[in-house]
Copies of this chain bind each other. A is one copy, B any other.
Amino acid sequence: MITLAVDCMGGDHGPRVTLAACRGFLERHPEASLLLVGMPDALSSFSHPRATVVAATEVVGMDDPIEIALRKKKDSSMRVTIQQVKDGAAQAAVSAGNTGALMAIARYLLKTLDGIDRPAIAPQLPNSKGGATTVLDLGANVDCDAEDLLQFAVLGSALVSALTGNESPSVGLLNVGEEAIKGSETIKKASQLLRKAANSQDLNFYGNVEGNDIFKGTTDIVVCDGFVGNVTLKATEGVASMIVDFLRIEYSSGIFSKFAAIVSYPVLKALKKRLDHRRYNGAALLGLRGLVFKSHGSADAVAFGHALDRAYDAARNNLLDRVRARIAHAAPLLARQEPAAADAAALHV
A binding-site residues for B, Cβ under 8 Å: 126-128, 139, 142-143, 174-176, 182-185, 187, 210-216, 224, 226-228, 230-243, 245-247, 250-251, 256-257, 259-261, 263-264, 266-267, 270-271, 274-275, 344-345
Contacts of A187 in B (CB 8 A): 142, 227
Determine if A271 and B242 form an interchain contact, defined as CB atoms under 8 angstroms apart.
no
What would 30 A/B residue contacts be, using CB atoms closer than 8 Å?
A126-B242, A127-B242, A139-B176, A142-B183, A142-B187, A143-B184, A175-B231, A211-B235, A211-B236, A211-B237, A213-B238, A214-B235, A215-B241, A228-B228, A232-B235, A235-B235, A240-B243, A243-B243, A243-B271, A243-B275, A246-B271, A246-B274, A250-B267, A257-B267, A259-B263, A260-B266, A261-B264, A264-B264, A264-B267, A345-B345
Task: Please pick, from B212, B241, B263, B270, the residue contacting A235 in the complex, using a CB distance under 8 A.
Answer: B212
Task: Please pick, from B176, B241, B267, B275, the residue contacting A227 in the complex, using a CB distance under 8 A.
Answer: B176
* Bound Cα distance A239, B243 (Å): 10
Copies in the complex: 2
Contacts of A233 in B (CB 8 A): 211
Determine if B227 and A215 form an interchain contact, defined as CB atoms under 8 angstroms apart.
no
| 7 nearest A-B residue pairs (beta carbon) | A212-B238, A211-B234, A211-B235, A345-B345, A215-B238, A176-B230, A211-B231
* Bound Cα distance A170, B225 (Å): 28
